[in-house]
Amino acid sequence: MFTGIIQAIGEIRAVEAIGGDARLRIGVGDLSLDRVALGDSIAVNGVCLTVIEFAADEFAADVSQETLQLTTLGHAAAGSRVNLEPSLTLATPLGGHLVSGHVDGVGEVAFLAPDARSTRIDFAMPEVLARYVAKKGSIAIDGTSLTVNEVGERKFSVNLVPHTLERTIMRRYEPGTRVNLEVDLVARYLERLNQV
């Protein structure tokens, strides 16, 4: 589990194809790996990955074919910047919302504009996710916990304060940028309860 509070911006250093899957080597930027052990989880653009190797300034993780197909990691390349967050512990403040690292779909930046000191971003989302996205609800975009400001049939908008833009890859977004989306866990479980 994660909080959706990005701890560092990393960089993909290498992508190695292995039998239909991929192995990523990721430089961790300012993220300390002092407390990381083999088998720990780190969210990379909101995708929960398992650490299989690590050094002082990088780690490696295997990415399954399904994850490559269902997330933006399928288009990852050396030099790509990524949001990083290690998994939460009992001592981690829950500053965002509970994020599982299991991406629900891929959205796309539709529009960006200044909004006072913030930046408004509109996202197109898959129709299947629309029922889980509510005004003033939570959503994780590339692993970043954000509040939904407005929601339409197949789109929603958020506002990013300067701190969020500075500390995440969102400052690089432009129309057409594809992003990983994870809907609020509570919304997902409520729908499942209604089906039973």
Identity at 120, one-letter amino acid code: R
The secondary structure element, H or E, covering residue 161 is: none
pTM of the complete model: 0.94
| Confidence (pLDDT) at 140 | 98
Percent share of the chain, pLDDT over 90: 86
| Confidence (pLDDT) at 13 | 98
- CATH assignment at residue 115: 2.40.30.20
Burial of 38 (0-12, 13-18, 19+ CB in 10 A): exposed
- Of the candidates 86, 154, 95, the residue with the CA atom closest to the CA atom of residue 122: 154
Tokens 């250093």 locate to: 13
Answer with the one of 51, 86, 121 that is the final residue of a domain. 86
The reply to whether 109 and 191 lie within a common domain is yes
The reply to whether 37 and 118 lie within a common domain is no
Quick: pLDDT tens for 116-161.
999 999 999 999 999 999 999 999 999 999 999 999 989 999 999 9
Quick: pLDDT tens for 94-120.
788 889 999 999 999 999 999 999 999
Q: Which distant-in-sequence residues (6+ apart) come within 8 Å of 21 by Cβ?
A: 62, 63, 64, 65, 68
Residues 119-128 as b or e (16 or more Cβ within 10 Å = b) = bbbbbbbeee
The reply to whether 72 and 115 lie within a common domain is no
Banded pLDDT at 93 (limits 50, 70, 90): confident
What mean pLDDT do residues 29-55 have?
97
| Confidence (pLDDT) at 192 | 66
CB 175 within 8 A of CB 168: no
Rounded Cα distance, 66 and 9, in Å: 24
| Confidence (pLDDT) at 147 | 97
Q: Could you list the residue range(s) of the whole structural domain that residue 126 is in?
A: 105-195
